């Protein structure tokens, strides 16, 4: 299923939904249905839709508008965020979660659906630009402690949370994964520390471009895998709260996990520019309909080392089983120092943004991995307000050193293992991966060099533009002088163009390659893991062989006292061999599955990113044409 397609499906099909028409829902739902191959799901999904499409839906649109109660909403959000995790709040939030049987699914449908009423902007664009904040709650008046923040001016239109409250009405606080869109999210770029603080309270910092993908991914990946993985939990969690559904369990799994994980990055300088102690904090805002989370949207603050810590934890646990654990971006002491020193120049802003985007992609890869998403550490990372600081991620720390040694011994033992590969598939794949790694590295260097040259070109074009402007000013033929200064302007614009192009070379292309170079490292790690388990199995077999030999010797020597011991050993090792063999088979199967999944993702990522890159090239050519077309008559006017 094509991600981009499904995005448009969701948005376009849900548009009519809000206008109280159910049929489009079918489109949307039919897709996951085919994937999950569960027919009932469709029915189930239609239910809420039809429900919603009758009265409540209309309410959604009308209620908030009339009430325009933006303030309290914010309050509710601010509370937990500022206080850390306040218990009552959590309770409140959890209740609906456990009850909200079909609600999540509805969210999926209704969220975008509620957007059309908004001005005339494309719903998708809204999602992209804005900050989803969620929390609809009826007893609005109950907790208005703080003045409405102006960030949420445009929010009434988004308050589509209401209707669902009417559904699950008995709770005081129904939280909903509603998007409250604040334009402000975009402006919270690194520099704006003040806004940032506001943001941190209001909690809904979301960002940008990646979101559409998320929608897409949610439908593609999770609809595919979550039924299998989530079903039990969900069944257990909420079999039939709003039991209108004919097939609750299916509905639960179909109530599609739609986690959107977005980070927004904030640089917080320690007190007053305390140079080297400064660190960057990132806001990770999640929006989800997965029942395993306590609420539907939440934001936490994480440091870079936390991301690394998450990776360490995941990799410790899952690499053993042959999973491909997406690696985080590397620590860059150079870049960080530059930022810390506080040069407000382009390169540090670029570094900050590059890292933010890289972390975002990293986290998305984790979250969209069906198995990793189930990991409690992931959940904790996304949800928990007071994360213990990750240790041992420092490059130069003692633990780091130990890790290095471990890695060294690992690679040594890797070299010593001589595996006679029984499975051609693995052999070929590994070779392929290695060759690809090599080429990608090469390509990455070249793209980097292109970026460098493009930047150089930009600078030199700027220099030339100035020089031509000077030449024009000293030229004493008026028409020629004019034409030259026009040329200078054209070159000026070209400077800009080259610079932008260099940025997209780097963001769209080089970053993609860097990601995949790292990912290929993980792929190789999973191959290595498979090899290690194989080795263990072989070792066990050898051991068993030895034990049998001892037994034979003992039999021969007729020493019955030790014979029993030997027999026990044999049974023990036989068990181990079977166990290890099973392990090996399991890991092999996982690796194979993971590699296939990886390849699919890779193909999709490359296609998406490179098309995006080509489009940026296309745009700059269009600009170029415009500039030169404007210049041509000027040149002809020289007389």
Interacting residues toward other proteins by CB under 8 A: 2, 4, 428, 432, 435-436, 439-440, 442-443, 446-447, 449-450, 453-454, 456-457, 460-461, 463-464, 466-468, 470-471, 474-477, 479-480, 483-484, 487, 599, 602-603, 606-607, 610-611, 614-615, 617-618, 621-622, 624-625, 628-629, 631-632, 635-636, 638-639
Q: Which two tokens stand for residue 281?
A: 């904090």
Nearer residue to other proteins within complex by CB, 94 or 450: 450
Question: In the bound complex, what is the minimum distance in angstroms from residue 607's beta carbon to other proteins?
Answer: 5
Please state, in angstroms and rounded to a whole number, the distance separating the CA atoms of residues 142 and 3: 42
The least CB distance from residue 491 to other proteins, in Å, is 8
- Grouping H, G, I as helix, E, B as strand and the rest as coil, residue 155 is coil
Closest approach, Cβ 515 to other proteins, in A, equals 15
3-class DSSP state of 310: helix
**How does DSSP assign 15-42, residue by residue?**
HHHHTT--HHHHHHHHHHHHHHT-HHHH
Closest CA to 47 of 247, 231, 227: 247
User: What does the block give as tokens for 625?
Assistant: 């044409």
Shortest spacing between CB 519 and other proteins, in angstroms = 14
The 10 Å Cβ neighbour count of residue 129 is 18
CB 102 within 8 A of CB 44: yes
Considering beta carbons, is residue 562 or 626 the nearer one to other proteins?
626
Query: How far is Cα of residue 548 from the mean position of the Cα atoms in its chain?
Result: 53
Which residue's CB is nearer to other proteins, number 17 or number 465?
465
| DSSP label of 256 | -
Q: How far is the CB of 179 from other proteins (least distance, A)?
A: 28
SS3 282: strand
CB of 34 to other proteins, least distance (A): 19
Residue 126 or 594 having the CB closest to other proteins: 594
Q: Which is nearer to other proteins, 269 or 627 (CB)?
A: 627
Which C-beta is closer to other proteins: that of 172 or that of 467? 467
Tokens matching residue 222: 């999770």
| Percent helix, strand and coil across the chain, each to the nearest 5 | 70, 5, 25
Q: Mapped to the 3 state alphabet, what secondary structure does 115-131 carry?
A: CCCCCCCCHHHHHHHCC
Residue nearer to other proteins on the CB measure, 142 or 630: 630
- The nearer residue to other proteins, 373 or 465, going by C-beta atoms, is 465
DSSP class per residue in 472-502: HHH--SHHHHHHHHHHHHHHHHHHHHHHHHH
Burial of 496 (0-12, 13-18, 19+ CB in 10 A): middle
DSSP string, 180-249: PP-THHHH--TT-HHHHHHHHHH-----STTHHHHHHHIIIIIHHHHHHHHHHHHHHH-SSTTTT-SSHH
Minimal distance, residue 476 CB to other proteins, in Å? 6
- Collect all residues with Cβ–Cβ distance below 8 Å to 302 and sequence separation of at least 6: 263, 281, 282, 283, 284, 381, 387
Considering beta carbons, is residue 161 or 433 the nearer one to other proteins? 433
Q: Which of 303, 225, 261, 215 is nearest to 28 (CA)?
A: 215
Cβ proximity to other proteins: between 337 and 622 the closer is 622
Nearest distance from C-beta of residue 633 to other proteins, angstroms: 9
Q: Which residues are registered as beta bridge partners of 303?
A: 281
Point out which residues pair with 284 in neighbouring strands: 263, 300
Report the residue number, 303 or 466, with the smaller CB distance to other proteins: 466
With helix as H, strand as E and coil as C, how does 438-480 read? HHHHHHHHHHHHHHHHHHHHHHHHHHHHHHHHHHHHHCCCHHH
Question: If DSSP codes are grouped into helix, strand and coil, which group holds residue 255?
Answer: coil
For residues 577 and 541, is the Cβ–Cβ distance under 8 A? yes
Task: State the minimum distance, in angstroms, from the CB of residue 615 to other proteins.
Answer: 6
**Cβ proximity to other proteins, 55 vs 618, nearer residue:** 618
Distance of closest approach, residue 453 Cβ to other proteins, in angstroms: 4
* Min CB(622)–other proteins separation in Å: 6
- CB closer to other proteins out of 476 and 561: 476
Least distance from C-beta 391 to other proteins, angstroms? 39
Q: For tokens 């030790």, name the residue.
A: 562
- Least distance in angstroms from the C-beta of 457 to other proteins: 4
**Is the separation of the CB atoms in 144 and 170 below 8 Å?**
no
């Amino acid at each position: 299923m094509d991600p981009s397609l499904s995005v448009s499906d969701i948005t376009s099909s849900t548009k009519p939904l809000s206008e109280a028409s159910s049929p489009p829902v079918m489109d949307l739902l039919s897709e996951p249905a085919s994937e999950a191959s569960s027919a009932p799901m469709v029915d189930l999904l239609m239910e809420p839709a039809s429900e919603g499409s009758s009265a409540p839906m209309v309410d959604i649109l009308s209620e908030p508008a009339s009430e325009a109660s933006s303030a309290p909403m914010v309050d509710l959000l601010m509370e937990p965020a500022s206080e850390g995790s306040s218990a009552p709040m959590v309770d409140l939030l959890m209740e609906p979660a456990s009850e909200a049987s079909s609600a999540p699914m509805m969210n999926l449908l209704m969220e975008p659906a509620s957007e059309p009423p908004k001005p005339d902007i494309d719903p998708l664009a809204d999602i992209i630009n804005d900050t989803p904040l969620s929390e609809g709650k009826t007893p609005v008046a109950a907790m208005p402690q703080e003045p409405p923040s102006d960030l949420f001016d445009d929010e009434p239109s988004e308050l589509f949370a209401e209707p669902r409250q009417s559904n699950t009405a008995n709770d005081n606080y129904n939280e909903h994964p509603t998007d409250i869109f604040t334009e402000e999210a975009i402006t919270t770029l690194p520099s704006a520390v003040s806004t940032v603080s506001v943001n941190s309270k209001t909690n809904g910092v979301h960002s940008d471009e990646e979101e559409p993908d998320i929608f897409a991914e949610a439908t593609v990946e999770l609809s595919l895998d979550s039924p299998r993985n989530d079903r039990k939990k969900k069944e257990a969690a909420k079999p039939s709260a709003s039991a209108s559904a004919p097939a609750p369990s299916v509905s639960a799994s179909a109530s599609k996990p739609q986690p959107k994980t977005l980070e927004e990055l904030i640089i917080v300088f320690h007190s007053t520019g305390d140079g080297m102690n400064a660190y960057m904090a990132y806001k990770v805002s999640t929006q989800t309909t997965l029942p395993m989370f306590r609420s539907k949207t939440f934001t936490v603050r994480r440091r870079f080392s936390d991301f690394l810590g998450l990776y360490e934890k995941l990799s410790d646990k899952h690499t053993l089983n042959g999973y491909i654990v997406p690696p985080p971006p590397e620590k860059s002491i150079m870049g960080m120092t530059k930022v810390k020193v506080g040069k407000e120049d382009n390169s540090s802003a670029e570094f900050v943004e590059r890292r933010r985007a890289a972390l975002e992609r990293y986290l998305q890869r984790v979250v969209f991995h069906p198995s990793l998403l189930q990991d409690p550490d992931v959940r904790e990372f996304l949800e928990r307000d007071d994360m213990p600081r990750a240790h041992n991620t420092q490059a130069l720390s003692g633990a780091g050193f130990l890790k290095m040694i471990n890695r060294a011994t690992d690679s040594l033992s890797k070299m010593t293992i001589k595996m006679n590969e029984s499975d051609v598939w693995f052999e070929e794949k590994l070779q392929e991966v290695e060759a690809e790694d090599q080429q990608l590295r090469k390509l990455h260097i070249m793209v980097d060099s292109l970026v460098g040259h493009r930047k150089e070109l930009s600078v030199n074009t700027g220099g030339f533009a100035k020089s031509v402007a000077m030449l024009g000013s000293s030229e004493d033929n008026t028409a020629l002088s004019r034409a030259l200064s026009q040329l200078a302007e054209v070159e000026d614009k070209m400077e800009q163009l080259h610079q932008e192009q260099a940025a997209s070379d780097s963001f769209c292309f080089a970053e993609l390659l860097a990601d995949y170079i790292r990912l290929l490292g993980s792929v190789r790690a999973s191959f290595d893991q498979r090899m290690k388990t194989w080795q263990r199995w072989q070792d066990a077999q050898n051991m068993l062989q030895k034990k049998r030999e001892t037994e034979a010797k003992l039999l021969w020597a007729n020493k019955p006292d030790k014979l029993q011991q030997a027999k026990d050993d044999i049974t023990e090792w036989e068990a181990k061999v079977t166990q290890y063999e099973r392990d090996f088979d399991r890991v092999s199967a996982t690796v194979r599955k993971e590699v296939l999944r990886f390849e699919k993702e890779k193909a999709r990522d490359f296609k998406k990113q490179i098309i995006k890159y080509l489009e940026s090239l296309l745009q700059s050519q269009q600009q170029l044409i415009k500039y030169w077309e404007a210049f041509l008559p000027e040149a002809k006017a020289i007389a």
